[in-house]
Every structure is written in structure tokens, then in C-alpha cells.
Structure 1
Amino acid sequence: MVPRNLTHVSEFLLLGFSEEPELQPLIFGHFLSMYLITVFGNVLIILAVSSDPHLHKPMYFFLSNLSFVDICITSTIIPKMLWNIQTQSQVISHEGCIIQMYFFVLFVGLDDFLLTVMAYDRFVAICHPLHYMVIMNPHRCEILVLVSWIISVLHSLLETLMVLMLSFCREVKIPHYFCELKQLIQLACSSNFLNELVMNFGAGILGGVPLAVILYTYCKIASSICRISSAQGKCKAFSTCASHFSVVSLFYCTCLGVYLSSAAPHSSHSSATASAMYTMVTPMLNPFIYSLRNKDIKRALRAFILSLGSGQFGN
């Protein structure tokens, strides 16, 4: 049976972080700066990886994909929020809200899967170094990314179709700065039991399984590092996964903060603030974490910037 859109509303109201007029310019400037830094930093990572032949390796292939997804996550929600602040409007159309929710669920899920694939890559590199190039061949890397895309697209499509079956009352106010799946389900006038079930099941499987895989791989990595005899060898092995571990910790800690804040009563403001951590702060910090702790990335970025400078002067 094809799901029917039973909604009685043509638009929603996004309440954002604050309705105080005097705070809007501050919020606008703050998040515009974060958005520009996020896009600029992640684009630099993508260009550096693509322009340097020494970085055409599985680890950096996954990193460039992660940077692309981080740009997509922030671009899904921040431009609309900035537009609403600039126009002094809280309105988002029903179609726009559904589209925003679809792409947000898609890219967050994809972010989770890419972090898991990157953990597996580090596991093979440290625990099976002699077979690394055989196991993590280009074809397998492409398959891993493709499977991550397929699962994320199907999951997001399922959640969106489930939301389209809900009906909403008039004057729907979303106490958030974007159309979050959980918020939409909770605001529905019709029964949302099945939606809650599908959402929680999806979060448990698509969030819990990747986390379990990441924890398992890092347990194996820690065990392998401990068996290395030289201190220099241990430091070198640890440095190859330190950046990824920092990004994983930041991502899951902020997601846990969102979950805990949404479970608390009267927590709309705290939930929005917690959501900002993994929708805006984490994508903004990821390029800094990888570039500051990775000599290859720093070298590639330096060479790329110098090549741009020499090209400009040459013209």
C-alpha cells in the first residue's frame, strides 16, 4: 500500500535557538562563521587528497569521503537557518521540511558508516600490515563506500516514508533549528507508535552495530600496539589512528549528549544545543583534527596552497 500524506499543514515553524530579536544577529554571525570554516576546511582536505599522489591511499580516500559528507550535513541545515534569521521568518514548507529531514538522516548515517569503515582500515593497517594492500585494495574500498551509501539511502527513505504517513495539526511549531526526525514524530497528531518503533530500531542497529565494530577494532588495535617491543614503534602505530579515534570520540559523545538531552523533560533548548555539537561543531573540527595530527595531510595542504600561490603569481 502506498503511504498517503495525511498532513493538514503546508508549513512548519522552526523556533531555532532563541526567539529574542536582539540575539538574532549574534546567532547569525556565529553560525555563518562556523559554516564557512566547515566548508573551507573540508574542501581543503578534499583538494589536498585529490592533488597529492602520495595520499591516494585507502585511509585518505575514506577521509575525503568523510569531508564531503560533513559539508553535506552542514549544508542541509545551516543555510536554511541563516535564511530564516536574515528574513526574520521561522517558516519552512512541508516539502522542504521532509526533504531536509531525509538528507539529514542520510548524511548522518553515512558519517557513522564511514567512521566504521575507517576504523576497519586502521585495524587492517596495524593488525595485518603485510596484507594491507591486498585486503584494502581500491575495488574493496569503493565497495565499502558504495555499501555505506546504499544502506544510508534505504534507511533514510524508510524513515521519510514513515513520516509521510503521519498527520499533523495546524500551527506545528518545531522547537529546533531544523526538521529533526524525532521532533517531527513527537509532534504528530496521529498514532506514532510504528514510527517510534522503526526509529528506535534503526538507531539501535545502524548506530549500535557500527559502534560495536569500532570498539572491537580498537580493542584489537590496542592489543597489537601493546605487543610492539619498541617505544618508537608503539608511538608510530598509535599516531596512525589517533586522529580517527579523536573524531569517533567527538562524534559519539555529542550524539550521546543529544540522546540524553532529548530524553530529559522540557529539554527543547538543551536538545538543540546538543544537536549543534554533532551537526556543526564536529564537522568543523574534523579537518583541524586530521590536519594538525597528520604530517602527510599538513605536507599536502602546504604543497597545495603553495601551488595555488605560484599559479596566481604566474598569471
Structure 2
Amino acid sequence: MEFLGLSVALIVLFVSFGFMVGVLFGFFGMGGSFLITPTLLLLDYPASVAIGSGLAFYFGTSVIAVLKHYDVGQVDYKLGAVLFVVLSIGIELGSRLVFGLEAIGIANLVTGIAYVVLLAGIGALFLRRAARLDDDDEDTDENDASDDEIPAIGQQIQSYDVPPMLSLTSGGRASVWTITGAGGSVGLVSGLIGVGGGFIRMPAIYYLIGTPLTAAVGTSLFAGLFSGAFGTFTYGMSGGVDLTVVSLLLVGSALGARIGSAATTMVDEDDVIVYFGLMMVLASVGIALSELANWLGTDALDLVSVLLLVGSSFVVASMILYKVVQSTGSTDPSAQVNPDGGD
């Protein structure tokens, strides 16, 4: 039995997967296309459709988040506008590269390898941070560090006065060359592998451009909103967006994102971050197994790869939901502490 050209099983998968990714997006501030695109690749969608649909999904989920950050004044519009321009250029170059690779038949292979390396690297960084949580807690107690502080590397980069300079809303100045380099690189990666780039773009704004963490998140989402729209248009004009799949994913994520956003006021992010790192490492392993399965022609490995990729996100999102339910049922006022320090 099929509906909208998809089996009932696929419809349930896309809606439930969208819900779980929405929970992760609302909680971690990342659009989730880094999970959507490889999942579509594993389901044998063409690379251009998987990437274009991932960008379209990111654009849809970003709208809600940007509105939230707009309400609390966490968006640097000038910086976001400049980033949008360079991100768009990078995405255009990345998309042209994808279609070129697709023409010679290696787009899926290159995209898969890029995902393995990228997700494994980001996952390792999260796990490394998790291993140092105790030290971070001690430093916080001694120095009362806050999200409004700019990291040392960001301060160092800002100290180099290379005109033209852009004044940041949060204070300080950044070279347009730094912004161009950081934004262009993230845009190229976004266009090449079909991610909104939030898990790369936000750290780039925070560490390289040098803004407070809350402003980095809001500005990243603002820039990503428009770059996601541009990427969706670029791939959509070439038939690279499956509106049915994107719509089903967005139906699930609309509710999931609200729950994930609410969870930030109830759950200590440090309790979940290690699992998020494991999720990305498992996702990279899943994609690696998929590439190996294609090379060996083994369906069993393909099944394992899908279970690792989709299952890992379900487990982490389920843990967040469990902690939300646990916190909601608790009468302890301390359970309602915002891990971001009152965002």
C-alpha cells in the first residue's frame, strides 16, 4: 500500500525521524540535515536529491529557531548578512561540484567519505569535551565563566587589524577577510554534502570571528536560514528537492523542535552531550558500513548502517524526552535550571 508515492513504512519512518531530529535540533541548535542527507543516501535516493532535501529540511526547521532568538535579541544582523553572501557563494560552488561528481558517477562515494570524516571528527570533539566536563565544572565554580565570554582564540584573531573591519553588535571588531574565509569554507561544505552547516558554522562564528556563544548561535541560525533557502533554490531548480519527503520530515520536526527547545530549560546539557558525540560517531560508522556494503554488495551491512544512523538519533532524542518527562514530574525547583545561564 502506497500513499504520496511512498510506502506506509517509509511515511512513518520520515515523520518519526523528523520528530526525533526536531527534538535534537531544538535542544542542540543544529538543523539535523547532517542526519537527514546520509539517511536518504542509505535509502538509495540520488545524491543531489538527498542533499537538496536535506538543505530544504534545514531551512524549514531554522525558521522557528530564528524567531525564538530574534525575540531575545541574540542575532547580529550585519554579521549575518555578510555571512549569508559568502555562504551562498560557497554553497553554489559546492552544488556545482556535486553535479559535476554526479556526472562522472562518484558523487555518492565522495559525499559518503566526507560524511564519515566530518561526523567522526565532530563526534570526537564532543566526546573530548565530555571527558573534560569535570574540569570545566571546576573552572566555572572558580571563575564563574559565562556564555558571554569570547574564547581566547577568538580574542587573538580579533587582535589582528586587517581592514576592512566589521563592528560586531556584541562588541569588538572582526576582519571581513576572517568572516569571508570562515563563511565561505562552511558554505562550500554545506553545498558539497548537503548540511545546513550549523554544527560547523556556529563554532566558526564563536571561535574564529569571536562572538559570545549565545550571539554565535542566533547569528548562525540567521545566516543559515537564508543560505538554506538559497541552497534549496539552487537544488530545487535542478530537481534536487523531494517535496514529499521534506514535508513529512517537517511535520514531525515541528512538534519535536518545540519539545527540544523546552528541554533546554529542564535538562543539563552536560548529561546528554556525551551521547550526542557517540551518536555522530555511530552515524559515521553507519555511513562507512554503507560504503563498504556497496563495495562488497552485501545487504546485511546496509541494514546495520541504517540501524546505526537512524537508531543512534532515536536513542539520544529518547533520552532527552525521558529527562523532560522526569523533570516535569519532579517538584524540585532546581530541576528548572537553564543550562545556558538564563537564555
TM-score range relative to shorter protein: 0.3 to 0.5
Larger Rg: 1
Q: Comparing both chains, which one has the higher relative contact order based on Cα–Cα distances under 8 Å and sequence gaps of 6 or more?
A: 2
Could you state the TM-score of these two structures normalised by the residue count of structure 1? 0.39
Could you state the TM-score of these two structures normalised by the residue count of structure 2? 0.37
